[in-house]
Structure 1
Amino acid sequence: MSKVLTDIQIGQKIREFRLQAGVTQEKLAEELGITFQQIQKYERGVTKVNLVKLQQLAETLKIPISAFFQDGSHTAFQLNDIEKQVLAAFRKIRSETHKNSVLDIVLGLARDLSSQ
């Protein structure tokens, strides 16, 4: 039987997924039609999140609702088509050396872009 999560644990996941998505409390509240103070209460576990609001949160943050109930810290990003293609191709690479080379290239490109 799976563990029942507390309001605090659900709140922590809301915060984690909101930050991963790069969304402010204010923006999330606006999308949901509530105040940012309510988002703060959800994230601290002070207020229970009802099922309808949890579904709206998942939709707004572009994550599956099941992400709130998975154990551990998971990245719950929805991949776009290009990311899916890259991941599928990467998984076909058998050589760990080649995989590490691809990773080095991607990290290098990301560093170059962030310094511009």
Structure 2
Amino acid sequence: MPKNSVDVHVGNRLKLRRTMVGMSQDRLGQMVGLTFQQIQKYEKGANRIGASRLYQFATLLSVPPAYFFEGLEGQPVTSRDGRQLAAAVPADSPTTSFTREDVELLRAFHGLGQQALRRRIIDLVWAMNDAPNADLAALPAEDDAA
């Protein structure tokens, strides 16, 4: 049976959050009475996570249950036999799979305590994204920031 895109997305979000808090698959499994292999299957989307289990994960990882579904807007809804029942994924939708580097950057970013600094970093990254060859010296200095 093919993997369901929603199960894969939820599994990726589980892996992202678990990694962000620095928890191993083994530790998370122990906390809910599962093996690390089962956690691995959930994270890969090979096994569907039931509602009560998802609620456990949300509680243990300090996120609302809706966290696991963020970014699913526009994803297709499929039947058990794989037939598409609703909207297709837009071509420009972001990937739901994260690299170690993505997670490392996110963990470091969350470690920053100052909201103003976080905002400046976001603005810097967007500026770099909009103009990949732009001279960074052209960006406003700290004294120029609002």
TM-score range, shorter chain: 0.5 to 0.7
1:57 aligns with 2:57: yes
Q: Which residue of 1 aligns with 2:28?
A: 28
Deviation at 1:18, TM superposition (A): 0.8
Q: Identity of counterpart residues, as a percentage?
A: 29
Measure, in 1, the Cα distance between the counterparts of 2:141 and 2:57.
40
- Runs of 4+ aligned structure 1 residues displaced above 3 Å come to 96-101
User: Which SS does the other structure have where 1:6 is aligned?
Assistant: helix
> 1:66, CA displacement in angstroms?
1.3
For the structure 1 residues 22 and 5, does the alpha-carbon distance in structure 2 shift closer, same or farther, using more than 3 Å as the test?
Answer: same
**Helix, strand or coil: the match of 1:34?**
coil
Deviations 1:13-56, CA, capped at 9 Å, x for gaps: 11111111111000000111111111011011111100000010
Structure-2 change in CA distance of 1:63 and 1:98 (3 Å): same
Secondary structure at 2:39 match in 1: helix
Q: Cα RMSD over matched residues?
A: 3.6
One-letter identity of the residue aligned with 1:25: Q
* Structure 2: stretches of 5+ with no match in the other structure: 72-93, 97-105, 118-139
TM-aligned CA deviation for residue 8 of structure 1: 1.1
Larger radius of gyration: 2
Contact 1:5/1:69 (<8 A) preserved: no
Task: Quickly say closer, same or farther: Cα 1:100–1:56, change in 2 above 3 A.
Answer: farther
Letter aligned with residue 6 of structure 1: V
Q: Give the aligned residue type for 2:63.
A: I
Q: Which runs of 5+ in 1 are unaligned?
A: 102-116
1:1-116 alignment, distance < 5 Å: 6-71=6-71, 83=113, 86-87=114-115, 90=116, 97-98=141-142
Counterpart CA distance in 2 for 1:6 and 1:68 is: 10
Structure 1 CA distance for aligned equivalents of residues 144 and 32 of structure 2: 41
Secondary structure of 1:56 counterpart: helix
- The count of corresponding residues between Structure 1 and Structure 2 is 89
Q: What is the TM-score of this pair, normalised by structure 1?
A: 0.60
| TM-superposed deviation, 1:98 | 3.9
